[in-house]
Amino acid sequence: MLMTKKKHKQATKAAKRTPARATTAVEPDSVYFLKLVMFLIVGSQWIRIEHLPDLSIPIPVGLLIGLVFATHDHFAIDRKVEFAVLLIATFVSFWLPLGLIVTT
């Protein structure tokens, strides 16, 4: 079907009005650094349930909370970086005395 001149003119006007690419808000470096520090601190939190003398159950609560923050972040930095910081903080803090220790 042939397009009439009027419809063709309207289609070209509509194409000109739509931007070629969407602009994204750029975060300042201080916000980026603050988010990385937040993910580092949150990711290092553990709850350890200890039943003396030999039973210890570590639960990575900070990793779970950090994953929720990372997936629902409105101004998301690169999620791969967020996940990497969370995982590194979780693995390093496993051997450190960080978090909450509950003894029964």
In a domain, 73, yes or no: yes
- Identify whether 16 is part of a domain: no
Strand order in the sheet with 47-51: 55-59, 47-51, 100-103
Residue 4 counted as domain residue: no
**Is 20 within a domain?**
no
- pLDDT band at 14; cut points 50, 70, 90: low
pTM above 0.85, yes or no: no
Q: Quick one: pLDDT band at residue 48, thresholds 50, 70, 90?
A: very high
Instruction: Judge whether 97 lies within some domain.
Output: yes
Q: Evaluate whether residue 62 is within a structural domain.
A: yes
Range of the domain at 78: 28-103
Closest CA to 45 of 90, 91, 9, 79: 90
CB 30 within 8 A of CB 85: no
At 16, list the tokens: 């000109």
How far is the C-alpha of 62 from the C-alpha of 45, rounded, in Å? Answer: 5
Mean pLDDT of the chain: 81
Please report whether residue 52 resides in a domain: yes
Q: Give the per-residue pLDDT at 41.
A: 95
The count of domains in the chain is 1
Whether residue 53 lies inside any domain: the answer is: yes
